[in-house]
């Protein structure tokens, strides 16, 4: 069976050349499937594994727009609708110059299993563009978003495909995208997009959900080991939506955030972070962390967060920036710095080699598809509120999020135990996510 599984994987990689991130995500999931197919060979026999690796639909389109100088610009738009066995396609949009079809496919593939783990009726998708919002005026971002949605609206909808934010797509971009969608379809379909502003159909906690959810997952993980976050020294990479919310929530539980980073360098804050100042720099002024001028802090231009680990002494590391940002060298630095927990806020931030090293060193490792599922879970809560024309309080939504993250944690742990690999959360997440989707696909015929 293992041999047949490997043949399937080789064939998937052959059919998708030049997409290393997609290959990495597929290989990582396949690495967990051997015990499942040994026990349930029908998944292989029915071809469900091949089918899961093939997107249902891949859309690539031209996005023309005009900059402030009147020059015509062209970007490429993507939406990969990967799997709808469990519900309408659901997954964010990323605007970043490095976005390619392979990036979107890796993110869409991860999203299938992540959405399945939430226990909610959500299929998996992802989209985006190689557009770089950095340095662009609001008017330019608006014109780009309007052009993107002029094409994308054909494929999205409350019962079809529901996008949200990701890197480079925050509330501003969601507003422009939703505004254009509403104009084109000529009806107020609030469930067609999530991450909306509070006064136009959004949910409390959605903005914070991925970072808060990550912290709830880690809290549950530590609880199971008789520990808590009080006094823990936490290093967070990135300083975007996920990183800021994670830093804020972990600090509110008594931890000390000893550092953060952005794409220009890393900030050491040995006495704890002033998150209000970070929000001001990154969310209001849209600038770098260089301007963080709180006494006792030090910004190291060009450094990664992990390079500061040894001097800062780190118990918990939360990579919340981007894929493959934490490599083998970084993993070694964290182990030397005394780190005992690494939980992924970003999608696939740890390289396979880093994960292997962390495991060998006995570090508890929480994979992104489980630990960062709070964002999409709260998107589903936003859709529930939209459908019932209701809006829930912060406390109620936050406590639903915490329950969902506890459930995801427990599902991963129990699955890892059932398959003889207690505490291997990556294996537990992959198997629990896979079996839910695969069973639905089998029930639906050859789809
Ligand atoms: P943002 O655009 O809000 O923030 C990204 C942050 O990462 C920024 O601070 C950015 O720096 C930094 N960054 C990007 N590339 C690098 C790099 N190579 N080295 C160091 N720092 C870098 O994105 P999000 O917070 O929304 O997303 C972060 C991650 O979380 C992504 O992997 C995303 O897929 C994942 N995720 C997001 C969810 C969400 O709800 N938003 C849900 C689930 C997962 P700078 O500020 O300089 O640009």
Ligand 1 mutation pick, 132, 262, 290, max ligand atoms within 8 A of CB: 262
- Measured in Å, how far apart are the chain's first and last C-alpha atoms? 23
Ligand 1: centre distance to CA 105 (Å): 17
| CA–CA dist 314, 436 (Å, integer) | 36
From ligand 1's centre to the CA of 226, what distance in Å? 31
Tell me the CA–centroid distance for residue 141 and ligand 1, in Å.
18
Q: Where in the chain is the domain with CATH 3.40.50.720?
A: 209-362
Helices vs strands, H then E, count in the chain: 17, 12
CA dist 237 to 21, 220, 247, Å?
Answer: 20, 21, 10
Q: Where in the chain is the domain with CATH 3.40.50.10860?
A: 2-188
pLDDT band at 1 (very low <50, low <70, confident <90, very high): confident
Give the C-alpha separation, 4 to 135, whole Å. Answer: 49
Report pLDDT digits (tens) over 400-432: 999 999 999 999 999 999 999 999 999 999 999
Residue 255, pLDDT score: 98
What pLDDT, on a 0 to 100 scale, did the predictor assign at position 95?
98
Q: How confident is the model at residue 182 (pLDDT cuts 50, 70, 90)?
A: very high
CA distance 229 to 218: 8
Residue located nearest, by CA, to atom 23 of ligand 1: 167
Task: Give the span between the Cα atoms of 330 and 307, in whole angstroms.
Answer: 7
In this predicted structure, the answer to whether residue 239 has a pLDDT above a threshold of 90 is yes
With 0.95 as the threshold, say if the pTM is over it: yes
CA distances from 179 to 33, 49, 143, 188 (A): 43, 38, 12, 10
> Is residue 193's pLDDT more than 90?
yes
**Tens of pLDDT along 356-404?**
999 999 999 999 999 999 999 999 999 999 999 999 999 999 999 999 9
Residue range 195-219: average pLDDT? 97
Ligand 1 atom 18, closest CA: 263
In 3-state terms, the chain is what percent helix, strand and coil (to 5)?
50, 15, 35
Please say if the pLDDT value at position 28 is more than 90.
yes
The architecture that CATH gives domain 2-188 is: 3-Layer(aba) Sandwich (3.40)
> Cα–chain-centroid distance for residue 245?
13
For residue 171, pLDDT beyond 80: yes
Percent of the chain with pLDDT over 70: 100
* Atom nearest to 195 CA in ligand 1: 40
Residue with the nearest Cα to atom 22 of ligand 1? 263
> Is the model's pLDDT at 176 over the cut of 80?
yes
Q: Which of ligand 1's atoms lies nearest the C-alpha of 304?
A: 20
Ligand 1: residue whose CA is nearest its atom 40 = 375
> Can you give the pLDDT at residue 2?
80
Can you tell me whether residue 281 is helix, strand or coil?
A: helix
Angle at 342 between CA 336 and CA 346, to 5 degrees: 130
Q: For residue 372, give the ligand 1 atom closest to its CA.
A: 43
| Rounded distance from Cα 214 to ligand 1 centre (Å) | 14
Residue 241 CA, ligand 1 centroid: distance in Å: 7
Ligand 1 neighbours (beta carbon < 6 A): 165-168, 210, 238-243, 261-264, 282, 288, 320-322, 325, 345-347, 372, 375
Percentage, residues of the chain above pLDDT 90: 99
Longest dimension (CA), the chain: 63
The preferred substitution site among 166, 195, 248, 292 for testing ligand 1, maximizing ligand atoms within 8 Å of CB, is 166
User: Distance between CA 333 and CA 331 in Å, rounded?
Assistant: 5
Calculate mean pLDDT across residues 210-218.
98
CATH classification for the domain delimited by 209-362, as one of 3.30.1950.10, 3.30.70.1560, 3.40.50.720, 3.30.200.190: 3.40.50.720
- Average pLDDT value for the chain: 97
Could you list the active site residues? 126
Classify 295 as helix, strand or coil. coil
> Over 80: is that where the pLDDT of 37 sits?
yes
């Amino acid at each position: 069976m293992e041999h047949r599984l490997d043949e399937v994987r080789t064939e998937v990689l052959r059919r998708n050349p030049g997409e290393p991130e997609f290959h990495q995500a597929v290989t990582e999931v396949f690495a967990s499937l051997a015990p499942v197919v040994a026990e349930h060979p029908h998944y292989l026999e029915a071809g469900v594994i091949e089918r899961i690796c093939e997107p249902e639909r891949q859309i690539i389109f031209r996005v023309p727009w005009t900059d402030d100088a009147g020059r015509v610009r062209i970007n490429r738009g993507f939406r990969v609708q990967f799997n709808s066995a469990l519900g309408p396609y659901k997954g964010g949009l990323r605007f970043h110059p490095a976005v390619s079809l392979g990036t979107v496919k890796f993110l869409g593939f991860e999203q299938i299993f992540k959405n399945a783990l939430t226990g909610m009726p959500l299929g998996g998708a992802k989209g985006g563009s190689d557009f770089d919002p950095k340095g662009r005026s609001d008017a330019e971002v608006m014109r780009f978003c309007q052009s993107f949605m002029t094409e994308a609206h054909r494929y999205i909808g409350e019962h079809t495909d529901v996008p949200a934010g990701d890197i480079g797509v925050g509330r501003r971009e969601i507003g422009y995208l939703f505004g254009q969608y509403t104009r084109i379809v000529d009806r107020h379909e609030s469930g067609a997009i999530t991450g909306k502003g509070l006064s136009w159909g959004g949910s409390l906690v959605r903005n914070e959900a991925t970072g808060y959810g990550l912290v709830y997952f880690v809290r549950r993980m530590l609880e199971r080991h008789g520990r808590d976050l009080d006094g823990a020294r936490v290093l967070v990479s990135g300083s975007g939506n996920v990183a800021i919310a994670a830093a804020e929530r972990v600090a509110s539980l008594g931890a000390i955030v000893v550092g953060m980073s952005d794409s220009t360098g890393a900030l050491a804050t040995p006495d704890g972070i002033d998150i209000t100042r970070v929000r001001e720099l990154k969310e209001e002024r849209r600038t770098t962390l260089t301007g963080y001028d709180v006494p006792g802090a030090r910004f190291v231009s060009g450094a990664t967060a992990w390079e500061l680990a040894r001097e800062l002494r780190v118990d918990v590391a939360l990579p919340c920036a981007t894929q493959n940002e934490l490599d083998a060298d970084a993993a070694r630095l964290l182990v030397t710095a005394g780190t005992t927990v690494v939980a992924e806020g970003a999608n696939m931030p740890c390289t396979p080699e880093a994960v292997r090293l962390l495991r060998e060193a006995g570090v508890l490792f929480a994979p992104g598809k489980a630990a960062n599922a709070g964002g999409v879970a709260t998107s589903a809560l936003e859709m529930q509120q939209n459908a019932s024309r209701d809006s829930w309080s912060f406390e109620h939504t936050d406590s639903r999020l915490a329950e969902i993250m506890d459930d995801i944690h427990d599902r991963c742990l129990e699955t890892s135990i059932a398959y003889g690999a207690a505490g291997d959360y990556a294996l537990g997440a992959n198997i629990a996510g896979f079996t839910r989707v695969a069973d639905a696909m089998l029930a639906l015929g050859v789809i």
